[in-house]
Structure 1
């Protein structure tokens, strides 16, 4: 059985916010046998050893929509199909995707903080990169200054789950997100 491991690399300020949707991801998927979610607090000077090791062994994928226009990024389309500007990036992703355990890291922070986290975490530079192309705009309403075309953490995970065939898990997360977003 393929297991999806999702690491939410979370900025310390994000852990304190009651508008953080990463907590919904953890809550919705905690009982799943197919998906394991772990929250890791980002540390600039002391990176998490597991993430560092997975990155060094080139087994860690980075989901980060702002990278969508970079040559090394692949796009996840519906039903697990991929597209890339660079054929080598696509070939590398498809090779890595054949592993029984899939390791993905998602930066759980504001867009400004996420960009800073990426710049200040050299070990994330060797990750294969996956851009999510949503069909609909963000529905997240609890924060101001949303970036056009951007999704919150829970929405990114819902897109990933939908597009990789974890429909039941996506629906569980969507129910929690809809209630959360009505506050």
Structure 2
């Protein structure tokens, strides 16, 4: 299993906690990496993929500690995923250097309606030749993400990648979402789709589905045909992908 930046950030944040983080399900005996119950650990199924994209997760302070956080799933699928804790007054120098690195073309993934300067808004990904797109996700609740953007001047001049309402509606309908809200990993899947990496987008969708399924196993028993469907669909997807790549 590959240890990535989100795993490392989680470990670092735990190390400086003065008291245990008591999220829902705090008494569950979790895997330290995938954060589901050890009896339902999914780490052995971690994807092995390649991508021409990079992601930067700027995480609200306690977000990385939440077992339900899906930012780690992005790092599981996309090898070049960077992760830093957000600080209003002391942003990471390493993170700022990454944003200023000429090898990357950064895009902040954020709702258009919250952007005052509409000239920054993009609805498609156009990357200069020789550069790697760096998709920046503000990982927290909607309120926290809004605050992170407003209080981070270094983000205000960057292009903002925003999805049209019909794109969001189509995705939500396809996923049969009930609350019309997307997890961070689901947003990343839409970004990959827009960038043209449909296979990675579908891989992340299946990985998210498997995580959600196994995460729920620790909250309620699942029996019958419903149990194991996430893993079955992931294996079928990988098998079909391998066959298609060999044709």
TM-score when normalising by structure 2: 0.54
Q: 1 or 2, which has the higher helix percentage?
A: 2
Structure 1: gaps of 5 or more residues? 31-35, 81-93
- In the TM superposition, residue 69 of structure 1 has moved relative to its aligned partner by 6.3
Q: Which of 95, 118, 139 is equivalent to 1:108?
A: 139
Q: How many residues align?
A: 156
Instruction: Pick 1 or 2: higher relative contact order, CA cutoff 8 A, min separation 6.
Output: 1
Q: Give the secondary structure class of the aligned counterpart of 2:108.
A: strand
RMSD: 2.9
**Counterpart of 1:159?**
190
1:45-124 matches, within 5 Å, as 45-53=89-97, 55=99, 59-67=105-113, 70=116, 71=118, 72-76=120-124, 94=126, 97-124=128-155
Q: Name the CA shift for 1:140/1:155 in 2 (closer, same or farther; >3 Å).
A: farther
Name whichever structure is richer in strand by fraction: 1
Cα distance per residue 1:69-119 (max 9 Å; x no partner) = 65121113xxx5xxxxxxxxxxxxx4x544422222110111010011111
User: Corresponding residue for 1:137?
Assistant: 172
Provide the rounded CA distance (Å) in 1 between the counterparts of 2:131 and 2:191.
17
Taking the aligned partners of 2:194 and 2:99, their CA distance within structure 1 comes to: 24
Which deviates the most, 114-123 or 159-168? 159-168
1:13–1:67 CA distance, 2 compared to 1 (3 A): farther
* Structure 2: 5+ residue stretches without partners: 1-50, 217-247
Equivalent residue number for residue 228 of structure 2: none
Cα deviation digits, residues 121-174 of structure 1 (max 9, x gap): 111111111102432228597xxxx6x5x4221011101111212122222211
CA shift in 2, pair 1:69/1:45, >3 Å: closer
